[in-house]
A and B are shown apart, each in its own frame.
Chain A
Amino acid sequence: MTTDEHRSDDQRPGDRSSVPALLAVQLAKDYGDRPALEPLDLQVPAGQHVALVGHNGSGKTTLLRMTAGLLDPSGGEVRVMGHRAGSLAARRVLSWLSDSPTFYDDLSLWEHLEYVGRLHGVAEWQTRAEQLLERLQLSGRRDDIPTTFSRGLRQKSAIALGMVRPFDVLLVDEPFVGLDSNGKTVLLELLDEAAAAGATLLVATHELAFVHRVSRLIALRDGAVVYDGVPADADVHALVLPA
């Protein structure tokens, strides 16, 4: 489900194939005297499926959060489909699935889906929401408050919220944490469908089996890129070890 499916023609941009989905130029982040991400140049073409791996604290989440516009870079910049990260246009095309989902404690899951769907101008949000809930086995919980859910159900709810809206770029941080086997299967299907619809995927994960489903692997170690290429050529287990 990409953004264009929900855009009227007058909003549809021209040929975007030449514009990279993600473009980072000398993107860096430090927390005081501790660098979290060394200056990074990165280009992800539209429609590419990328896995981001690395040990804890390697800079994966920092990179994703800066791309989502949730974190100010210390240096450089990142663009999403040609738009400055965090700008209105970038927010329209980018969906962010955090590893620690947040919900309102006064809205049911269904009301959350309506909230997010309507904020993104989705006309048929109900149909999409029902499909997602059905597939994620959350239909029976649609009128419950997600803040009361277990870790796995919260993760499933976050997936539904991330997918109910249109997007061209999907950023996912540790999507498999807390999911049961059915949840993992459904998430992989949803990611495949998004990819088939032309979305660009950037997935940070410790689930090394997932790496072989993508076309490009980027490994970070202590804030620096140590591998950028096809997964088949990489010794993934060695890449995720800290220095």
Chain B
Amino acid sequence: MSDVVIDESPEAALRALRRHRQRNRLGELDWFEAAYRVYLLGGFGGGSVLWISSSVKDQTVGDAALADVLAHGPAVLGLVAVLAVMAGLRGGAQGGPLALEAADVVHVMLAPVDRRAALMRPAVQRLRSASFMAVAAGAIAGQLAGRRLPGSLLAWSASGALFGATVAGLWAGSALLAHTSHVRRPIATAVAVALGAWQGAAVAWSVPGPGDTVGSIGLWGWRQHAVDAVPMVVAVVSVVAGVLLLGRLSLDALARRSALVAQLRFAVTMQDLRTVILLRRQLNQEHARHRPWMQVRRGGATGRGLWFTVWRRGWHGLLRFPLSRVVRMTALAAAIGVAQASVVRGTTPAFVVTALLGFVLGLEVMEPLSQEVDQADRADAIPIERGELLARHLFAPAVALVPFGVVAGLAAWLSLGARSDALAPVALLAIPTVLGAATGAVISIVRDAPDPFSSSRTDAFVPPEMAGFTTTIRLVWPIVVSALTTCTVLLVRGAWRSGESLTGAALRGAIGSMLVVLLVGYWVRVRDRVRHAVRKFMEEGRAATAQQKRGVWS
């Protein structure tokens, strides 16, 4: 690198030096490790999606249901697109969607280099990754739809992918334009809320919505409309315009976001979804409210024991959730209800979607528990067994989840056509399902707590083949537990199809979900104790073996 020509433009120097950094990184890359990760992701992830999809033998929808999909599908899918635009607008107004390395902010952005040229590469990388994720998600959703709707799987996958790409383009374009136009946050929020409300009305009352033509792309697996090409053009134009205006990005925002990016990338590398969500919240400048929604009564904890102290601390945190977070949690709860209703209607894999949504909702609401786990030094300084402390942190969030359970139940009931015979089963299942779905988050949070009995992680010494398997299990296990509680809706569907009592089935399902909730709570309480006992047992075993060997040799 030292022998390069130095009479060059700063832009040329930047390109040459970035190439050099790329060579550095590639030189350090462990190709075997990278290939193994690709194998895990492609083989396990892709294979799992196809296997689960094909193993679910759902019936093809009838003519009436198909007409329903064609009538309401564009508006519902359009809502997804509008949500993406809303996220883009708000993200852009808060300094997104780009985030640079902290060192780039100081060494490149403060150098006399054309900022558009300097930002082009990170912008393209961001667009590429967003498009890839959206196309993959769209294709997976498309092939799932293709199993129940007329048309080839390939056509549905392609239309899903095209829809995903358009949504990604609209998200990136709206974010870039909001940022480069320096749209203020309240204005971005107002526009986003107006768009969301309009599209919400389109879903509820079948009026034309702003996202309908985008949503219509998602049905190209069955039929194609030329007018649907308009949002694709809009997406491309907005992205191109955003890229052309890159030089107007605020360095203030880029500097602020850069500090979090390294942590975010590390968290993604470690498949640490909880940290990813936490850092995403920080990137969006989502801070706790300075003043809580309501004051917890002062002085109530004095002399009233550990349970009350922890309960009170939990509410101190929960009542400081910002409005944006509460709205997001409400939307997650509503989506849980809609997904569960679609399971009842026949789309079996939707209970996995419910589990994922509930997992994310759980990560949101379990903030007091997360804080305790993240401040391990503080927790360990308290003269109370950690399991006892963590278990008590579950109560306030569990109570806080109740209204979200009601929202989920209401959304499910409305999705099922507000039928009177659905009211009782929905009322019985809603809260246990939401609580149960959140248990995956509890497992994820508590499992990542530092081990007080060991100075090193035992999984650091397992062979690579086992390490990959262990990593996958660690990633999937909490979702599996969440799914155990959300699949109870299948009992209701089974009863509905066979003409049995819906209320009885719902009651059995609710009891099943609550059993999982109680088991997870118990696990949190005794986890450290059990691990300590197991470790002691193993050490005693090793000591006994060593003594036997000494006896044999002597």
- Taking beta carbons and an 8 Å cutoff, which residues of A are in contact with B? 68-72, 86, 88-89, 91-92, 94, 96, 98, 102-104, 106-107, 110-112, 114-116, 118-123, 125-126, 161, 165
Contacts and interface: CB of A to CB of B under 8 A. Distances in A.
Contacts of B20: 111
A121 B106 contact: no
Interface in B1-43: 1-2, 4, 6-10, 13-14, 16-17, 20-21, 24-25, 28
Of residues A89, A91, A110, A115, which shows the largest number of chain B Cβ atoms within 10 Å of its Cβ? Answer: A115
Given A107-B24, A119-B13, A123-B6, A112 B107 contact: yes
A72 B4 CA distance: 36
Interface residues of B, number: 35
B106 A98 contact: yes
Contacts of A70: 105, 110, 251-252, 255
Of residues B8, B21, B102, B106, which shows the largest number of chain A Cβ atoms within 10 Å of its Cβ? Answer: B106
Contacts of A92: 112
Contacts of A91: 110-112
A69 B112 CA distance: 12
Interface of B: 1-2, 4, 6-10, 13-14, 16-17, 20-21, 24-25, 28, 101-108, 110-115, 250-252, 255
A88 B107 contact: no
Contact of A71 (B7, B9, B110, B252): B252
A161 B110 CA distance: 12
Contact of A114 (B1, B101, B255): B1
B15 to A, nearest CB: 11
B13 A118 contact: yes
Contact of A106 (B25, B105, B107): B25
A107 B17 CA distance: 10
Contacts of A111: 1, 20
Nearest to A96: B110
B114 A88 contact: yes
A114 B2 contact: yes
A118 B17 contact: yes
A103 B104 CA distance: 8
Contacts of A88: 112, 114-115
Contact of B110 (A69, A110, A115): A69
A120 B112 contact: yes
B26 to A, nearest CB: 10
Contacts of B114: 88
A104 B250 contact: no
Given A88-B115, A91-B112, A102-B107, 13 more contacts: A69-B110, A70-B105, A71-B255, A91-B111, A92-B112, A102-B103, A103-B103, A112-B107, A118-B13, A119-B10, A120-B10, A161-B107, A165-B111
B10 A121 contact: yes
19 contacts: A69-B110, A86-B251, A98-B106, A102-B102, A104-B101, A104-B104, A106-B21, A106-B25, A106-B28, A107-B21, A111-B1, A111-B20, A114-B2, A116-B111, A119-B13, A119-B14, A119-B108, A121-B13, A123-B6
What does DSSP make chain B's interface, helix, strand, loop or mixed?
A: helix
Contact of A120 (B28, B101, B111): B111
A96 B13 contact: no
The 6 closest A-B pairs by CB, nearest first: A119-B111, A118-B13, A92-B112, A72-B252, A102-B102, A104-B103
Contacts of A86: 251
Nearest to A147: B103
Contacts of A119: 10, 13-14, 17, 107-108, 111-113
Given A96-B110, A119-B14, A104 B21 contact: yes
A88 B118 CA distance: 12
A115 B111 CA distance: 10
A97 to B, nearest CB: 10
B95 to A, nearest CB: 10
A138 to B, nearest CB: 17
A108 to B, nearest CB: 9
Nearest to A72: B252
B3 to A, nearest CB: 10
Contacts of A94: 110
B517 to A, nearest CB: 39
A175 B231 CA distance: 53
Of residues B7, B9, B20, B252, which shows the largest number of chain A Cβ atoms within 10 Å of its Cβ? Answer: B252
Contacts of A161: 107
A115 B17 contact: yes
A102 B111 contact: no
Given A91-B112, A118-B13, A119-B111, A102 B2 contact: no
B410 to A, nearest CB: 35
B6 A118 contact: yes
Contacts of A89: 112
A14 B484 CA distance: 76
Contacts of B106: 96, 98, 102
A126 B28 contact: no
Contacts of B4: 118
Contacts of A69: 110, 251
